[in-house]
Amino acid sequence: MLITLPKCKHIFTVETLDGLCGMSDFYQRRESDGKWSDLTSPVNQTASGERKKPPVCPTCRSPITSPRYGRVYKSANLDILERNVISRMSQQLQQIKELMDNISKSAMETKLSTDASLIKVTEVRCARSVRKAKTAARKTLLNDTQKIPVSPDAIKTENDALFSISPAVTTTWRKTVKPLVQAYERVTKVATMRSSHIAAWEAAWSCLFEQELQLAISDPQRAPRRPREYAMQMARLKVGQPQPRADKRFLVEAIWVSLKIRFIMAELAVTWLKTAGKNSTNHAAQQCQMWALYIAFLLDSCERDAKIALEIATKSESRRQMTHTIVYVLRAGLERFRFELVAAEESHTMVGDARKTLADRALHSGKDAEDLISRTIREHLAILPGDGQEWIATNFREIAFDIRNEWYQLEKSLRAATFYQPVSLDEKMAIVKAFSFGWLPKIMQILTIDLTNCWLAMQVTAGIITIAPTDTPLL
């Protein structure tokens, strides 16, 4: 049988084009007569890990769009769209990362500490029913797993639906943390970005799933034992394209960045709370309580989003993302407990049995963290044994053990009633590696070589360094 290609009119045999288009990746062949008999779920990557390209004519390189190969070229075109999504979201996350690098947390802490010592904050009257409504609104947000991460409005102190904080405080706070809020707004846009081909895949899958389910209902005698599971499996086969996962990967990475921003905001808010506690004459006790509720909400949202990110990474079967996300889960729990200690110290309630209870919790949490770390390493190496020496040590083991050690240090400090100095975990979280920008280290290596060469050239020109004729050229 011969086929004339619609675009270029070149003629080839069916066997030639079937092999060129990789029909065996999309259909199953019967061994008895060699005919294509059934569908199979395609894979968009070659054995070497490279993305498959759209099939083209071997003579003129025109695209092959014959109806026989519809699943093949449509799958390749959708794959190109997904790569475009990856490129666009990667660039946006890189821009946000650069914006975060230009933010000075120490400068913000200094300014907030100074402002908190000078400003006079009076009590904001709020009825009990209104306070209950705001508490319920905060709980509703934390229980809503659809909005990932929490909206930028939810982390703003001027949000009157959630908090009752003095306008004088919100004005000062908003001006200081404005760069962080802007970065958070940008990262939430990345997290909620959905491309048209992803929506198309979901619509096609849903349509095919309903068709298979209706067939099972219309003929109960021939229906499979588990119609829903069978319908889901057949829908995946008939779509002809694996579910796009680029948005899930970058959704997880966007949540990581949003967690970093909220951790910084929580630390800054604690700085304000401690300074306000030292100047109790200028700060109403009710406002300190409201500020503590705001910090607790920030950290609770971090715990919520870290667990959701882990669930997304697990469903996407991304082992490295799962392992890296567990670091954020561990840190979110630790930061929440740290704040409980600060709140207890500021309210002077850490006495007697309360201190012992906190120490027991720290010890129990440390043991839980240790068990989770061991299990994560074991499960990771079972799937990716090649990550045992370098990747898992750099991206998980070191920071995870630091978090575990912090739990045990907290427990010892609480039992001995000694001063505890919290360790900053921001620098150890290796945020740059979380983005998985493979080109970034290479660019930095090239820039380092070029800067070194420029420095050497200036030294030679100035006569500081002398190069013998037999020396290796600089470039």
Name the more confident of 297 and 77: 297
Q: What is the pLDDT of residue 51?
A: 64
Name the more confident of 48 and 309: 309
Q: What is the pLDDT of residue 429?
A: 67
Query: In the structure, what pLDDT confidence band is assigned to residue 416 with cuts at 50, 70 and 90?
Result: confident
Q: At what angle do helices 178-191 and 246-278 cross, to 10 degrees?
A: 160
pLDDT tens-digit series, residues 109-163? 999 999 998 888 888 888 889 999 999 999 999 998 777 789 999 999 999 999 9
Per-residue DSSP letter, 427: G
Ranked by mean pLDDT, which of 15-24, 144-153, 306-315 comes out on top?
306-315
Q: Tell me which of 101-115, 238-252, 310-324 is least confident.
A: 238-252
pLDDT reading at 24 higher than 60: yes
CB of 307 within 8 A of CB of 288? no
Mean pLDDT score of the chain, rounded to an integer?
82
Query: In the structure, what pLDDT confidence band is assigned to residue 26 with cuts at 50, 70 and 90?
Result: confident
Rounded Cα gap, residues 334 and 313, in angstroms = 22
Query: In the structure, what pLDDT confidence band is assigned to residue 473 with cuts at 50, 70 and 90?
Result: very low
pLDDT tens-digit series, residues 353-362? 888 999 999 9
Please state, as a whole number, how many other Cβ atoms lie within 10 Å of the Cβ of residue 9.
10
Q: What is the pLDDT of residue 41?
A: 67
Rounded Cα gap, residues 88 and 85, in angstroms = 5
Q: What is the pLDDT of residue 427?
A: 64
Q: What is the pLDDT of residue 50?
A: 59
Q: What is the pLDDT of residue 156?
A: 94
Name the more confident of 328 and 418: 328
Name the more confident of 298 and 50: 298
Tokens 């989003």 -> residue: 305
Q: What is the pLDDT of residue 375?
A: 95
Q: What is the pLDDT of residue 46?
A: 53
Name the more confident of 449 and 414: 414
Query: In the structure, what pLDDT confidence band is assigned to residue 316 with cuts at 50, 70 and 90?
Result: confident
Query: In the structure, what pLDDT confidence band is assigned to residue 4 with cuts at 50, 70 and 90?
Result: very high
Indicate the pTM of the whole model.
Answer: 0.74
pLDDT reading at 310 higher than 90: yes
Q: Could you give the C-alpha distances from 297 to 120, 174, 317, 384, in angstroms and in order?
A: 24, 17, 30, 36
Q: What is the pLDDT of residue 391?
A: 86
How far is Cα of residue 354 from the mean position of the Cα atoms in its chain? 36
**266 half-sphere exposure, CB direction, 13 A CA radius:** 29
**Per-residue pLDDT averaged across 257-279, rounded?**
92
Tokens 């009590």 -> residue: 123
pLDDT reading at 412 higher than 50: yes
Query: In the structure, what pLDDT confidence band is assigned to residue 455 with cuts at 50, 70 and 90?
Result: very low
Q: Tell me which of 93-107, 392-406, 441-455 is least confident.
A: 441-455
Nearest Cα residue to 117 out of 190, 70, 169, 71: 169
pLDDT reading at 450 higher than 60: no
At residue 356, the 3 state secondary structure works out as helix
Q: How many residues make up the chain in this entry?
A: 475
pLDDT reading at 349 higher than 80: yes
Kind plus residue range of the DSSP H or E element containing 4: strand 2-4
Q: What is the pLDDT of residue 195?
A: 67
pLDDT tens-digit series, residues 170-216? 999 999 999 999 999 999 988 887 766 677 777 888 888 888 888 88
pLDDT tens-digit series, residues 226-240? 888 888 888 877 776
CB of 350 within 8 A of CB of 344? yes
Rounded Cα gap, residues 69 and 6, in angstroms = 12
Tokens 């083991």 -> residue: 397
Rounded Cα gap, residues 23 and 72, in angstroms = 7
pLDDT tens-digit series, residues 55-91? 899 899 998 888 888 888 887 877 777 777 778 888 8
Q: Could you give the C-alpha distances from 263 to 93, 201, 425, in angstroms and in order?
A: 18, 36, 10
Rounded Cα gap, residues 381 and 390, in angstroms = 12
Q: Tell me which of 4-18, 202-216, 283-297 is least confident.
A: 202-216
The strand pairing partners of 112, in sequence order, are none
Integer-rounded Cα Rg, in Å, for the chain is: 29
Rounded Cα gap, residues 239 and 241, in angstroms = 6
pLDDT reading at 443 higher than 60: no
Rounded Cα gap, residues 190 and 148, in angstroms = 11
* Residue 43 amino acid letter: V
